[in-house]
Chains A and B, each alone.
Chain A
Amino acid sequence: MESSEAEPSESRPEEDGAAPGSEPQPPDTMEDCLAKKMEITVSEAEKRTGRNAMNMQETYTAYLIETRAVESQNEGQCSPVDSLWRRYSEFELLRNYLLVTYPHIVVPPLPEKRADFVWHKLSADNMDPDFVERRRIGLENFLLRVASHPVLCQDKIFYSFLTQEGGWKEMVNETGFQLKADSRLKALNATFRVKNPDKRFTELKHYSDELQSVISHLLRVRARVADRLYGVYKVHGNYGRVFSEWSAIEKEMGDGLQSAGHHMDVYAASIDDILEEEEHYADQLKEYLFYAEALRAVCRKHELMQYDLEMAAQDLTSKKQQCEELATGTMRTFSLKGMTSKLFGQETPEQREAKIKILEEQIQEGEEQLKSKNLEGRDFVKSAWADIERFKEQKNRDLKEALISYAVMQISMCKKGIQVWTNAKECFSKM
């Protein structure tokens, strides 16, 4: 079964990057991918102090990643657990590497760096134990998502992240992925006039914008609703105290008041667990909020590739034109060079020959480049769209499940409420 938020984190057998060194081949079927070779968990979080790059003391949280090969059922024996510690920044490094290396893949997002969409009782402090705990779950989820992805799971850097404590950072940097990174991808606001983008990607980009906008709106309102709900429940707790004090001066009403007050206390206390559970639901939505960004990045990459392609084609066309003009002596387009040569005298035939030769070489190069860029572009569209289809199915599954789990939570809350108020009503009726 695909990784899912609703399930307990321990027992999710996932697969590993099997063959280091070979080019990642997209497998033919999903069955090959989910080899169930490795169990992965992020089991602990620990506060650490150390020195940062500027030799200043800093506090950070380290997370324990445990891995274990899943033996076939015939063996019946548990293999030993390997473990290593990683901090959030290393997860970030891994993800950035994956983003650059697999631009056609919708790369799973990391849990948020800083607590966002908090309602007042929740701390926005990164060191807060509840935040750390939710982040631990989020990081585990990230690893499981990558490990169950047909392409990403085969990456050796990912495998080393899970298994090789020392020297991993150096290994990543040695891949030189930072150089491959297209800075334009980060500049999300910059617009590129692309003449013929694949319409599907344009639509997808709109969708990812809408998804991002609607989920953040939803999360914001949900946080406010949670805040208000908290208020309603907690004020009822005041009844408990006053009923108790009042019962002291009443003879017949005393017992009923006192016991009703107790139920009011129970009611007020129950909201804490209810809202804690809801935070997990919010985290599920947040994952897809961040996924929307990853989706957008893929569309962007297509846009940039298409833009480069169109620019290259444009450049080739103009070079061909220039070449033609030089060859035939006609000046079809205005050029400064042409003007100056008219004013200051024409160049010699030898000079012109030389120029034509250079241009012809450039044109040859350009045509080859254009061909390969075209091919690249088509391959990208094909593989990206395949992953996007996979992502869409995953998203629909996960979100539907999240909505169902939300309903389950509401039902549980209602049942608790019914119980408390039934008890309270009984006490009141005995007053």
Chain B
Amino acid sequence: AAQKSCVGWQHSTGLLAGHSSGLARGRVVDTSLAEANSFSPSMTISPSSMINQYKFEDEPELRDLFITVDDPESHITAIETFITYRVITKTSRGEFDSCEYEVRRRYQDFLWLKSKLEEAHPTLIIPPLPEKFIMKGMVERFSDEFIETRRKALHKFLNRIADHPTLTFNEDFKIFLTAQAWELSSHKKQGPGLLSRMGQTVRAVASSVRGGVKNRPEMFTEMNDYMETFSQKINVLDKIAHRIYKEEREYFNEMKEYGPIHTLWSASEEDIADSLKGVASCIDKCCKATEKRMAGLSENLLPILHEYVLYSEILMGVLKRRDHIQSELDSKIDALANKKADKDLFSEEIGKLEDKVECANNALKADWDRWKQNMQCDMRSAFTNMADNNLHYYEECLATWESFLASQTVDCHGEEDSEDRP
């Protein structure tokens, strides 16, 4: 099994929270990415075919961690009803005791994992989780459609983590994938409680509002500006895509009625009955093609756009957290400037904070570059796929109508084909 070569990145969770041992001030951290493969949006859930599903961009990366999320199951207890998903992990990594794991996880567990990752890596871009509820669209909490959409998103979530050069080695991630239910429960109970974690977040947000922007490096201001526009645009795109889906559905509904009228008419006719039935059959086929087109949208473009809507929120949050880390340093520096006493103590603290800031900045910068590349890849593939869908739709319809035309123009009307347009 190939070793992942993550140059410059340490593997333990505690690094960025305060250890200065591995990262002295001034050392340049290599931010080259070990893996540049894109994440293929179309995942099947069959473990055996997973290897073929990954599109490798630059290097044929030998993955050593494969995860699937499938088999949603409903659990009813006296207190609540909830769904668990089966998470299967196959790996060749040494740090895993076994090479295959099968566990059951519920949405809460995913939430826990996400918050642990955010805690450990405040300026890394943690992939988005599907939302708790979907208000618009009025999808019932446990409808099949809702569960399936959620399952796919959870699957993607775990795989994005697995793809991430740093997050993939996170200890909580490993526990999530491997621990039995009771083990996970007891592990969850350790560590800072929910309230204290919430407090951290609140403080982070508050401080950034107050203005941790003072000494913000130009690069991060640029990122901020970019994210604001990107966030706007991706939200609009999401709406547009949903609107198109809705319009296509309405079109499909009308087409369903349109074809059969011709069949009905053919029953009163003799000479033109065949032509009418032919038209009815063409319309029905085009109707089915529309359904396929819609399915393509909902399987591909819609989930990706939605994911990036969530990503834009995450990224704004990451930028804020970075600002907060910086503001801690800035306020300590300010305090030092004011209080002349205890310089030594302060300078040690400031040293640590400066390390922290540098780590955070570097982590974010590297992760940002990686995110942008993935985003570009995902968008390219999602929109290309959408174009493909539409192409197939029109090609199918064209074939249908052309074959009808051929059947009709046997006798007198020689070339009925429209002229080729330039």
Q: Which A residues lie at the B interface, using CB under 8 A?
A: 207, 210-211, 214-215, 217-218, 221-222, 224-225, 227-229, 231-232, 235-236, 238-239, 242, 245-246, 248-249, 252-253, 256, 260, 396, 399-401, 403-404, 406-408, 410-412, 414-419, 421-422, 424-425, 428-429, 431
Collect the chain A residues with CB atoms within 8 Å of residue B402's CB. 411
Min CB distance, B388 to chain A, in Å?
A: 6
**27 cross-chain CB contacts under 8 A:** A218-B265, A221-B258, A221-B261, A222-B258, A225-B255, A228-B247, A228-B250, A232-B247, A235-B240, A239-B237, A245-B229, A249-B229, A396-B271, A403-B275, A403-B276, A404-B275, A404-B409, A407-B405, A408-B418, A410-B282, A410-B397, A411-B398, A411-B401, A421-B387, A421-B394, A422-B387, A429-B384
Contact between chains at A239 and B398 (CB < 8 Å): no
Smallest CB gap from B236: residue in A = A242
Q: Which residues of A contact B279 (CB under 8 A)?
A: 403, 406-407
Determine if B416 and A431 form an interchain contact, defined as CB atoms under 8 angstroms apart: no
Chain A contact residues: helix, strand, loop or mixed = helix
Chain A residues whose C-beta falls within 8 Å of the C-beta of B395 in the assembled complex: 414, 418
Asked if B182 is at the interface (CB within 8 A of a chain A CB), the reply is: no
Report A-chain residues with C-beta under 8 Å of the C-beta of B99.
Answer: none
B229 partner residues in chain A, CB cutoff 8 A: 245-246, 248-249
- B418 in contact with A407 (CB, 8 Å): no
Give the CA-CA distance A174 to B397 in the complex, in Å.
58
The CA-CA distance from A414 to B417 in the complex, in Å, is 12
Check A421–B390 contact: CB distance below 8 A.
yes
Cross-chain pair count, CB within 8 angstroms: 155
Tell me the nearest residue of chain B to A417, going by C-beta: B394
Q: Are A404 and B387 in contact (CB under 8 A)?
A: no
Distance, CA A414 to CA B261, complexed state (A): 22
Q: Which of B229-251 contact A (CB under 8 A)?
A: 229-230, 233, 236-237, 240, 243-244, 247-248, 250-251
Which residues from B are CB-within-8-Å of A415? 394, 398, 418, 420-421
| B52 contacts A by Cβ under 8 Å | no
Could you tell me if A414 and B226 are in contact, using CB atoms closer than 8 angstroms?
A: no
Interface contact A253-B376, CB-CB below 8 Å: yes
Q: Take A232-B244, A242-B233, A242-B236 as given contacts and tell me if A425 and B391 are in contact as well, using a CB distance cutoff of 8 Å.
A: yes
* Contact across chains for A211 and B268 when beta carbons are under 8 A apart: yes
B397 touches A246 (CB 8 A): no
**Contact check: which of A214, A215, A221, A410 meets B257 at CB < 8 Å?**
A221
In the complex, chain A residues whose CB is within 8 Å of the CB of B409: 404
B-side interface mostly:
helix
Return B369 CB to nearest CB of chain A, in Å.
Answer: 12
Partner pick for A425 among B265, B275, B384, CB 8 A cutoff: B384
User: Which size class do B's interface residues fall under?
Assistant: 35 or more
Top 5 closest A-B pairs, CB basis? A425-B387, A414-B398, A228-B251, A417-B394, A396-B271
CB distance from A202 to the nearest CB of B (A): 15
Selected contact of A242 from candidates B237, B254, B398, CB within 8 Å:
B237
Q: Does B54 contact A (CB under 8 A)?
A: no
Compute how far the CA of A249 lies from the CA of B229 in the bound complex, rounded to whole angstroms.
8
Residue of A nearest to B377 (CB): A431
Contact flag A238-B240 (CB < 8 Å), given A221-B254, A232-B247: yes
Q: A235-B240, A407-B404, A410-B282 are in contact. Are A214 and B383 (CB under 8 A)?
A: no
Residues of B within 8 A of A412 (CB): 418, 421
A428 touches B251 (CB 8 A): no
The docked-state distance in angstroms from the alpha carbon of A237 to that of B59 is 38
Q: Could you tell me which residues of chain B, from 207 to 233, have a CB within 8 Å of some CB in chain A?
A: 226, 229-230, 233
| Residues 98-136 of B contacting A (Cβ, < 8 Å) | none
CB distance from B276 to the nearest CB of A (A): 7
CA gap between A214 and B268 in the complex, in Å: 10
Residues in chain B near residue A410, CB distance under 8 A: 282, 286, 397, 401
Task: Give the complex CA separation of A374 and B257 in angstroms.
Answer: 48
Q: Once bound together, how far apart are the Cα atoms of A222 and B393, in whole Å?
A: 20
Q: Are A242 and B240 in contact (CB under 8 A)?
A: yes
Task: Say if the beta carbon of B262 comes within 8 Å of chain A.
Answer: yes
> Taking the nearest CB of chain B, how far is it from the CB of A411, in angstroms?
5
| B379 interfacial by beta-carbon distance below 8 Å | yes
User: A109 vs B104: C-alpha distance in the bound complex, in angstroms?
Assistant: 73
Given the known interface contacts A228-B251, A246-B233, A428-B387, the answer about A218 and B261 at a Cβ–Cβ threshold of 8 Å is: yes
**B-chain residues with CB within 8 Å of residue A406 when the two chains form the complex:** 279
Known interface pairs A396-B271, A428-B387; A224-B254 also in contact (CB < 8 Å): yes
Shortest Cβ distance from residue B50 to the other chain A in the assembled complex, whole angstroms = 25
**Cβ of B278: which chain A residues have Cβ within 8 Å of it?**
403
Hey, which chain A residues are within 8 Å of B401, CB to CB?
Answer: 407, 410-411, 414
